[in-house]
Amino acid sequence: MSSTPLRLAAGTLTLRPWSPEDSVGLSGLFQDEAMRRWTDAAVHDEASAARWVTAQQRGWETGDRFAFAVRETGVPGSTPRLVGNVVLKYAARGSGSAEVGYWTAAHARGRGVAHRALTALTDWAFEAFVREGLTRLELVHQVDNAASCRVAEKAGFALTGTLPADPPAFPLDGHVHERHAPAVA
């Protein structure tokens, strides 16, 4: 990966690696019940938010986890603000497969933020890692998370199966969605 900070655009959204200044206010986003229910991040105050951001930065350094802060930046007359997170988990480099994940802040839900950010991440992943043979992305969410199912399908991830629960991290069965790299002409 280049040492130049990566930025992806998705309409009014900008995706970029997490930075220390993002931790301010992050703990407030995790006060939302849905965030606590659907994510496993232990963010409950500014100190834990800073640790979480540091962990995201470490993923970039090790090259196995590429997390992007999603900010709404292209709305005229409004201040840019954090609206979500998307991540490419690529621990098994060279396997041809990786996992993606995302979350959206409560104030940004229902506006297509997750779908647009996930699509931008997916397009970037297939382009950035084509030489390593990345051909398949997997997305897993709990079966009772209907919103995540809709986001996955809108972003072109087909529902391909169900995984059994694996408590405590994954207390319920999970839907598995997959998207394959476009065919090279």
pLDDT digits (tens, 9 = 90+) for 24-82: 888 888 787 777 777 776 788 899 899 999 999 999 999 999 999 999 987 777 788 99
For 96-142, write each residue's pLDDT tens digit.
Answer: 999 999 999 999 999 999 999 999 999 999 999 999 999 999 999 99
Q: Residue 5's pLDDT is what? A: 57
Read off the pLDDT band of 3 (50, 70, 90).
very low
Q: How far apart are CA 91 and CA 4, in angstroms?
A: 22
Segment (H or E) for 55:
helix 46-62
Read off the pLDDT band of 178 (50, 70, 90).
very high
> Can you tell me which residue has the tokens 């409950």?
44
